[in-house]
């Protein structure tokens, strides 16, 4: 039915770069499916792996097929699998979990401490075929195209972060206008926030944000003061909820400063190493902080598909599409810091 080998984009040497290789088509186990990949999204994680920075060199074994953002269709089904059909379009959760931990046994699969990521710890999705536990498969409704299916993983990060707290009628400050921050702004609007302010220091990204979510107030914090913006919007006591998506210490400080008493912060951005935090300020403002990792399995997936079917539109966050033969151009766009999501076509 399928060939024995496939094209795959791999880290095949412990040095910067990725290489197109011929790899064996994965053999599936009884609880797994084989997915023919149609489209994949390039993630910041993939850029770290391409660059072979300290994190990547210390985390990713070589050789490794990279990539974890994908849409495709099921072409082979393990003998224990029920409820999935050949030809079914799907995306899927790239975090492979164990079922023995306390959190998994409580049904909080996204909190399993033994989670392994495809494209990082296990062979990934930048390939013509991907094997995945049937448990991780998320079927795609007909009205969600492969382009969107290929970015559900980062959209899921945005949805998980944005829905950490009730946003209905709230004033929301989002720091970091990368693709996930921009999508979080779209989700916050969809979820009924009154004002959504999105900050960055990169003018190109703020321009993209205004294009994707016209109703968001973008702020270049190198040119504009957040206090002035809050005043202009009539927020006399501050923002209710902060979503920190940049990993920047300065941004986190700005969020704490700009929040109302008793405000809430969800943190998705990862600060480099140890960052000094003024804890006294957080205590005296009675602020709640939540760290966010991955997506809730599978509530985040359920909610994001439902929102996409109910008018949430993030399609313009995809700024570049390439045939996979032009993957180097796609990575160059990502590395420029000016792009939104870059999608590679494997068909
Ligand atoms: Zn990703």
**Mean predicted confidence (pLDDT) in 74-89:** 98
- Please report which confidence band the pLDDT of residue 190 belongs to, taking 50, 70 and 90 as the band edges: very high
Residues 238 and 117 in one domain: no
Which pLDDT value is given to residue 272? 84
Distance (angstroms) between ligand 1 centre and the Cα of 2 equals: 28
Distance (angstroms) between ligand 1 centre and the Cα of 271 equals: 17
Residues 143 and 163 in one domain: no
Distance (angstroms) between ligand 1 centre and the Cα of 223 equals: 30
> How many helices (H) and strands (E) in the chain?
12, 18
Distance (angstroms) between ligand 1 centre and the Cα of 43 equals: 4
**CATH number of the domain within which 77 lies:** 3.90.180.10
Answering whether pTM is above 0.75, one says yes
**Mean predicted confidence (pLDDT) in 325-339:** 96
Distance (angstroms) between ligand 1 centre and the Cα of 105 equals: 26
Q: Is it the case that residue 312 has pLDDT exceeding 90?
A: yes
Q: How far is CA 143 from CA 10, 305, 307, in A?
A: 32, 10, 12
**CATH number of the domain within which 239 lies:** 3.40.50.720
- pLDDT, one tens digit per residue, over 240-276 is 999 999 999 999 999 999 999 999 999 999 988 888 9
- pLDDT, one tens digit per residue, over 128-147 is 999 999 999 999 999 999 99
Percentage of the chain beyond pLDDT 90 is: 97
Which pLDDT value is given to residue 3? 75
Classify residue 187: in a domain, yes or no: yes
**Mean predicted confidence (pLDDT) in 103-125:** 97
Residues 129 and 233 in one domain: no
Residues 12 and 128 in one domain: yes
Catalytic residues: 45, 48
- Please report which confidence band the pLDDT of residue 239 belongs to, taking 50, 70 and 90 as the band edges: very high
- pLDDT, one tens digit per residue, over 34-62 is 999 999 999 999 999 999 999 999 999 99
Helix, strand or coil, per DSSP, at residue 127: strand
Residues 233 and 287 in one domain: yes
Q: Strand 137-139 to strand 89-92: parallel, antiparallel, or no bridges (unpaired)?
A: antiparallel
Residues 145 and 16 in one domain: yes
Q: Is it the case that residue 2 has pLDDT exceeding 90?
A: no
DSSP one-letter string for 197-216: EEEES-HHHHHHHHHH-TTS
Contact 40, 70 (CB under 8 A): yes
Query: What is the residue range of 103's domain?
Result: 5-151+314-345
Q: Is it the case that residue 1 has pLDDT exceeding 60?
A: no
Average pLDDT, the chain: 97
């Amino acid at each position: 039915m399928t060939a024995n080998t496939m094209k795959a984009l791999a880290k095949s040497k412990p040095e910067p770069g990725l290489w197109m290789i011929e790899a064996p088509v994965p053999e599936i186990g009884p609880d797994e499916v084989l997915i023919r990949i149609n489209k994949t999204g390039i993630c910041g994680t993939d850029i770290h792996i391409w660059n072979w920075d300290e994190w990547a060199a210390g985390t990713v074994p070589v050789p490794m097929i990279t990539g974890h953002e994908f849409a495709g269709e099921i072409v082979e089904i393990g003998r224990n699998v029920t409820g999935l059909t050949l030809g079914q379009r799907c995306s899927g959760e790239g975090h492979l979990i164990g079922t023995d931990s306390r959190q998994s046994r409580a049904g909080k699969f996204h909190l399993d401490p033994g989670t392994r990521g495809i494209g990082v710890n296990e062979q990934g999705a930048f390939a013509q075929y991907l094997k995945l536990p049937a448990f991780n498969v998320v079927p795609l409704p007909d009205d969600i195209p492969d382009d969107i299916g290929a970015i559900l993983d980062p959209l899921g990060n945005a949805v998980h972060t944005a829905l950490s707290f009730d946003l209905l009628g709230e004033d929301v400050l989002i720091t970091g206008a990368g693709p996930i921050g921009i999508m979080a702004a779209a989700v916050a609007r969809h979820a009924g926030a009154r004002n959504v302010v999105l900050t960055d220091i990169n003018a190109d990204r703020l321009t993209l944000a205004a294009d994707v979510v016209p109703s968001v107030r973008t702020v270049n914090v190198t040119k504009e003061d957040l206090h002035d913006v809050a005043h202009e919007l009539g927020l006399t006591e501050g923002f209710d909820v902060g979503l920190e998506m940049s990993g920047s210490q300065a941004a986190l400080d700005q969020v704490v400063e700009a929040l109302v008493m008793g405000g809430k912060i969800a943190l998705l951005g990862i600060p480099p190493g140890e960052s000094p935090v003024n804890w006294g300020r957080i205590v005296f403002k009675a602020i709640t902080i939540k760290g966010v990792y991955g997506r809730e399995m599978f509530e985040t997936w359920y909610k994001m598909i439902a929102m996409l079917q109910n008018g949430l539109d993030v399609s313009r966050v995809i700024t570049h599409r390439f045939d996979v033969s032009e993957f180097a151009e796609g990575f160059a766009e990502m590395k420029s810091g000016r792009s939104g999501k870059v999608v590679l076509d494997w068909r």
